[in-house]
Amino acid sequence: MSEYLLPTLVIFLLIVLNGLFVAAEFAIVSAPYARIARRAEEGHAAARRVLPVLQEPRLRDRYIAAAQIGITLASLGLGMYGEITLAHWLEAPLTRLGILSPAAVHSVAFVVALSTLTYLHVVLGEMIPKSLAIQAAENTVLQLAAPMTLMQRLLAPLVFTLNALGNAVTRLIGVPAAGAHDRLYSAAELEYLMEESTSGGALHPGEQVVLENIFDFSERSVGQAMTPRNRIVGLPLAASAAAVRQTVSAAPFTRFPVFTGSMDAVVGVVHIKALARHLAHGDETIDLATLMTPPLFVPESAPLQETLTLMRTQGAQLAIVIEEYGGTAGLVTVEDIVEEVVGEIRDEFDQEAPPFQDLGGGVLRVRGDLILEELNQHYDLALKMEDVDTVGGLIMALLGRVPLVGDRVEVDGIHFEVEEIAGLAVQMARVAWQRP
């Protein structure tokens, strides 16, 4: 029995070594860079060994080459030693059966030995280690850091030679060498990864929306986030105390544009706190000119990212948005800009209807000022028209006239019906389409 023990251990060891090298190869290409980097910063010794390999393509190539050489050597050893040993063990019992010729005994023993070792090699030495390494890439790559470092040192001359030959061949066929940038992802690739993570349950749908909004943030303009002019509540510079009191008490805002003549001539912004003392004391006159602060003006086409930076620099919570002809297009607040990332922020004073309500059955009730891009993002649509940003603008453009309650339009199989009008603009609309 002892004559079988050592060969069995050798065969088992070769399979284990093959599995370890397979695990090392798959773990290094699947390892989460961010988590490894964080653990390296915390002083984790194995993470410090692995991090340079993840950062530098040249070191990663050497690591993978060492693993592949290890796989090759273990596989060759298993094939050469294991097949001969196992076939030799099988020949004796097959010969005792007396039903096969010596040549047939050798052939059968060879086939059985090869089949058995192939099964063990593929299942125990390839498939299982690969699956475990992919599922637990971080732990696997850290556990194998020390032995793989030793392996790379032992095989350094061979690895260097084979890598040089491999790189020479790839250059001859026009394949560029890998660079550090190859581990970086474009915004489109990151969005695809987020979709996959959400589908797999690793990311909450709400988190995906916020992350996508962050990627889109740099492409959005002030005009897409502003409160339009027809919804601005402002104060005339010469307004009486009674008029100021009536306007402020009826509006759920803390800041009010101050204008002369019309909203196209905004001269300042007044905060409710600046008015509070005068309103509380029942003053008969209020001099808005002494209470207001200079307004911040931004063009309608200004990027949101730059506008937010400007508002932070100027210490402004509200900016007046100017259209191309110099008139007032609307106003934008820091809250409006933040909502472009995190979604609608509602408080106890908000009186507006939500941007959209899902009524079920492929039907939505949406505000006319809902940005088309937001609707597209939430429901995977592709609504788009040049110089149109909102649902109300799309309806008006399709109608070619001022909308009326009950008007219906259709584009790309999506039906719109005007439900409410505010002045000349669409207040609420119903949207319906056949969902997959």
Question: What's the pLDDT band for 263 if we cut at 50, 70, 90?
Answer: very high
**425-432: strand order across its sheet:** 356-360, 363-367, 425-432, 414-422, 408-411
pLDDT at 206 exceeding the cut of 80: no
Q: What is the pLDDT of residue 92?
A: 74
Q: Cβ–Cβ contacts within 10 Å for residue 252, how many?
A: 11
Question: What's the pLDDT band for 358 if we cut at 50, 70, 90?
Answer: confident
Backbone angle region of 239, left / alpha / beta, with phi > 0 → left and psi within -120 to 50 → alpha: beta
Mean pLDDT across 283-291: 87
pLDDT at 181 exceeding the cut of 50: no
Across the strands, what pairs with 367? Answer: 428
Q: Is 225 helix (H, G, I), strand (E, B) or coil?
A: helix
Q: What is the pLDDT of residue 430?
A: 93
Mean pLDDT across 221-233: 90
269 in Cβ contact with 295 (< 8 Å): yes
Distance between CA atoms of 372 and 429, rounded to whole angstroms? 13
Tokens of 103: 């040549």
Q: What is the pLDDT of residue 5?
A: 81
**328-333: strand order across its sheet:** 227-228, 328-333, 318-322, 297-299
* CATH number among 3.10.580.10, 1.10.940.10, 2.40.30.110, 3.40.50.1100, domain 222-342: 3.10.580.10
pLDDT at 66 exceeding the cut of 50: yes
Q: What is the pLDDT of residue 182?
A: 53
pLDDT at 270 exceeding the cut of 70: yes
345 in Cβ contact with 351 (< 8 Å): no
Question: What's the pLDDT band for 65 if we cut at 50, 70, 90?
Answer: confident
Give the helix ranges, DSSP H, for 144-293.
145-154, 156-172, 187-199, 205-217, 222-225, 241-250, 272-281, 288-291
Q: What is the pLDDT of residue 180?
A: 44
252 in Cβ contact with 315 (< 8 Å): no
Q: What is the pLDDT of residue 435?
A: 57
Mean pLDDT across 353-358: 76
Percent of the chain with pLDDT over 70: 94
Q: What is the pLDDT of residue 109?
A: 79
DSSP annotation of 125 reads I
- 104-152 pLDDT tens trace: 777 877 888 888 888 888 898 899 999 999 899 889 999 998 889 888 8
Question: Could you give the C-alpha distances from 361 to 64, 191, 415, 433, 436, in angstroms and in order?
Answer: 53, 28, 13, 9, 11
322 in Cβ contact with 345 (< 8 Å): no
Residue ranges of the domains in the chain? 2-183, 187-217, 222-342, 356-432
pLDDT at 351 exceeding the cut of 70: no
Q: What burial class does residue 114 get, using C-beta atoms within 10 Å of its C-beta: 0-12 exposed, 13-18 middle, 19+ buried?
A: middle
Question: What's the pLDDT band for 350 if we cut at 50, 70, 90?
Answer: low
Q: Which of 59-63, 74-78, 339-343 has the highest mean pLDDT?
A: 74-78
Distance between CA atoms of 328 and 350, rounded to whole angstroms? 24
- 297-320 pLDDT tens trace: 999 999 999 999 999 999 999 999
What is the secondary structure of 38-101 as a DSSP string? HHHHTT-HHHHHHHHHHH-HHHHHHHHHHHHHHHHHHHHHIIIIIHHHHHHHHHHHHHHH-SS-
Q: What is the pLDDT of residue 353?
A: 65
310 in Cβ contact with 318 (< 8 Å): no
**Rounded mean pLDDT of the chain?**
85
- CATH code that applies to domain 356-432: 3.30.465.10
Tokens of 295: 């307004």
Q: Cβ–Cβ contacts within 10 Å for residue 47, how many?
A: 22
Q: Which of 36-40, 55-59, 267-271 has the highest mean pLDDT?
A: 267-271
- 396-411 pLDDT tens trace: 999 999 999 999 999 8
Distance between CA atoms of 366 and 381, rounded to whole angstroms? 15
Question: What's the pLDDT band for 185 if we cut at 50, 70, 90?
Answer: low
Mean pLDDT across 374-378: 79
